[in-house]
Amino acid sequence: MCWLAAVWFVAPYFGPDKLAQAYLIAAAILVSGVLQFAIQLPMLARLGFRFDFNWSASRHACGQVVRAMLPITLGMAVTQLNTLMDSLIAWGLSAPPDATRTVAWLGHAVEYPMQIGAVSAIYYGERFYHCRSVCWAWRSPR
């Protein structure tokens, strides 16, 4: 949500300076990661969690967590691969910004089916979908 807000509300103030916009988005992503970590600390403190770097004491519990995460990780990989394939297909079917609207390797007989920016639209749509899913899961009763 943090970096989407930066893209939608703050980046337009930088106008045509694309490098400044890229730095803004990179900083927003960094802030998002820090906030994602920091928002968990109060609840962890209330539950009595403390950081302990004793590997031998936590080895068994870490193995249990990894074994429990494996099916979830494989299931979520499908979503990531789907997003990657959507982006690659959109990239291949989008007209390049400096070319004509027709596909050169098909003898300029066929127009590109997607407009410039289709890859970005798919990417931001996926991010918005994930944010919406997380917010919905966070508000649902436990």
Q: pLDDT-derived band of residue 99, with 50, 70 and 90 as boundaries?
A: low
Q: Tell me if the pTM is above 0.85.
A: no
Distance set, CA 12 to CA 16, 19, 115 (Å):
8, 13, 21
What is the average pLDDT score of the chain?
A: 82
Neighbours of 59 (CB within 10 A): 10
Check if the beta carbon of residue 126 is closer than 8 Å to that of residue 83.
yes
The residue with greater pLDDT, 133 or 4, is 4
Res 104 pLDDT > 90:
no
Q: Can you give the pLDDT at residue 125?
A: 84
DSSP per position, 66-116: HHHHHHHHHHHHHHHHHHHHHHHHHHHHBPPTTS-SB-GGGTT-SB-SB-T
Rounded-to-integer distance, Cα 115 and Cα 111, Å: 10
The mean pLDDT of 107-127, rounded to a whole number, is 81
pLDDT digits (tens, 9 = 90+) for 67-87: 999 998 888 888 888 888 988
